[in-house]
Amino acid sequence: MSDRVEDQGEADENGRNESVTSPVSGVDTALNAGVSFLKTAENVRAKRLRRGVHIELPAYLFVQSSWFMAFGLQMVLFPYLITNKLGLNGVELGLANMALSAPSVVFLLIGGVVAERADGKRLLILLHLLGALPAFALALAVSEGRLSYPLMILYGITIGTVGAFMMPARDAIVNEVVERRMRVGSSVTLQLGVTLATMAQFVSQICGLILAGYADKMTRMPAFLGGLEVGPISSHRLLAIQGIVMGMGAVFALLLAKGRKVRTGRAGIGAAFGDIADGVRAVRADPRLWAMSLLMFGVGVLVIGSFLVVLPIINRDIYGLQSDGIRDMFVTFWLGAFVSSVALSVFKNIKRQGRLLLTAQLLGSLAILAMLWRIPHAAFLGIVFVWGLAAGVSIAMSRSIVQNAAPKDQLARVLSIYQLGFMAGAPIGAALMGLLTDLFGPQKIAIVPAGGMTLLILWMALGTPIWNMKNDQVSKTTR
């Protein structure tokens, strides 16, 4: 009897549970739906963030490419207008290149501070737009027949000033881009990111160099390419193209994320100088950073002077060529740099970056000695190619070493000091090589950069930690 009562009670209770609906029974369903919706929204947001992060590296590479394609155009057009259009010699070309690179000595350290305090995305947009203006102004002057040496000096000072702020802003952002990409599971390392940026630089420069080589000059393609005649393209149109390409960098910069801003706690007019002093102390405190800055100063004086002044004079006086010859030299050089950077991209982490850097620098310096003799033009281009191979290795390795060694909260300032070594040496080297070229001829002075760089490299190997240093990222992954 009691069993039946219990069964009946259970039945009644079950019946009531089935037939009675609580007025708040839909809360659980609503909460579950809300949680599901929230998870979906979070997944969508995460996918958008990942998609934005994955787009950011290609966008950065296009920003890099736009600047350096315009730079490639400038590398041919600037000396061509001075040596061939205006008919000037080594001293005038050296002074013009000094005007092009001297603003970096004045503004580069300030540019590093600005790059840390400003939103990197907005800064790149502004600088690309400002960089387009001098090219458009020079294009107008050439088209109206008002090209003059003072105008070329003014162009050099203007674009050089923009470049002084551009370099630390652009180079510092790659570190942030790689960090964000690694946080979403990407295997891209800092060395690989720097190498990809270097490859983009070389390819875009080559494109600009090739295009500029058609300035006022028709080129006949080889028979296997159909023997087509390309060009001539007027100089003012190429300058206008340079301005357009430069401006496109602002469009690609829109796809970048907002950069992080560094707050040092300083304010007022003296704040920038205090921040610069902190950056200098950081470089002096690290033997690797100090050694790399000194190396870049030597490269600026001994190598860049030869590159910017001696080669265009050799092109005109020894081989009797015009813009097409300048194009062939610079394309060959940067093609060599691209080949070596592609080879480096296979290795995501190189353990002995310093040894590879110094070995490449030594081989490139010794290759300059071949210019002491009047060799066939094809052999001359072969030497330039070897020089480019060495440059590609040294550019990628030196950037990786500095990016790894620099404190992250002072990265842009350290990069600006590192670049300052290079840019401060360039105007000195340009003026010096221009004077020596006019006094002794463009071939005999090859001993100056080759001998000077060899001595500097020996000091770097024996007197600094660069030769024996190990890549920190490789050391961490092998523990």
Alpha helices in 320-376 (DSSP H): 323-345, 353-367
pLDDT the model gives residue 32: 61
pLDDT the model gives residue 264: 54
pLDDT the model gives residue 379: 87
CA distance 305 to 297: 12
Q: Is the pLDDT of residue 274 over 80?
A: no
* Ranges 239-248, 366-375, 378-387, most confident: 239-248
In a domain, 48, yes or no: no
Q: Are 309 and 433 in contact (CB under 8 A)?
A: yes
242 phi and psi, to 5 degrees? Answer: -60, -45
Q: Is the pLDDT of residue 184 over 70?
A: no
Residue 450 C-beta-side C-alpha neighbours within 13 Å: 15
pLDDT the model gives residue 15: 47
pLDDT the model gives residue 439: 81
From 255, 307, 214, select the one nearest 64 (Cα to Cα).
Answer: 255
In a domain, 258, yes or no: no
pLDDT grade, residue 228 (50/70/90)?
A: low
SS3 258: coil
Residue 21 C-beta-side C-alpha neighbours within 13 Å: 4
In a domain, 259, yes or no: no
CATH value at residue 59: 1.20.1250.20
Greater model confidence, 126 or 214: 126
For residue 331, what are its two tokens?
């394309």
pLDDT, mean of residues 4-12: 47
pLDDT tens column, 209-220:
888 878 777 666
| Average pLDDT of the chain, as a whole number | 77
In a domain, 44, yes or no: no
| Identity of residue 81 | L
From 77, 70, 97, select the one nearest 310 (Cα to Cα).
Answer: 97
For residue 295, what are its two tokens?
């190396």
CA distance 389 to 202: 11
Q: Is the pLDDT of residue 242 over 60?
A: yes
User: Taken in order 305, 309, 313, 316, is the CA torsion positive or negative?
Assistant: positive
Q: Worst-scoring range by mean pLDDT, 105-119, 232-246, 290-304?
A: 105-119
Q: Tell if the pTM clears 0.85, that is, is over it.
A: no
CA distance 19 to 21: 7
pLDDT tens column, 440-477:
877 777 788 888 888 988 998 888 888 887 766 554 54
**Number of domains making up the chain:** 1
pLDDT grade, residue 1 (50/70/90)?
A: very low
Q: Are 101 and 423 in contact (CB under 8 A)?
A: yes
CA distance 157 to 286: 33
Q: Is the pLDDT of residue 19 over 70?
A: no
CA distance 381 to 387: 10
pLDDT grade, residue 132 (50/70/90)?
A: very high
In a domain, 334, yes or no: yes
pLDDT the model gives residue 133: 94
In a domain, 73, yes or no: yes
In a domain, 136, yes or no: yes
pLDDT, mean of residues 386-415: 80
pLDDT, mean of residues 119-124: 84
CA distance 86 to 149: 8
- In terms of residue numbers, what domain contains 384? 55-253+269-473
In a domain, 34, yes or no: no
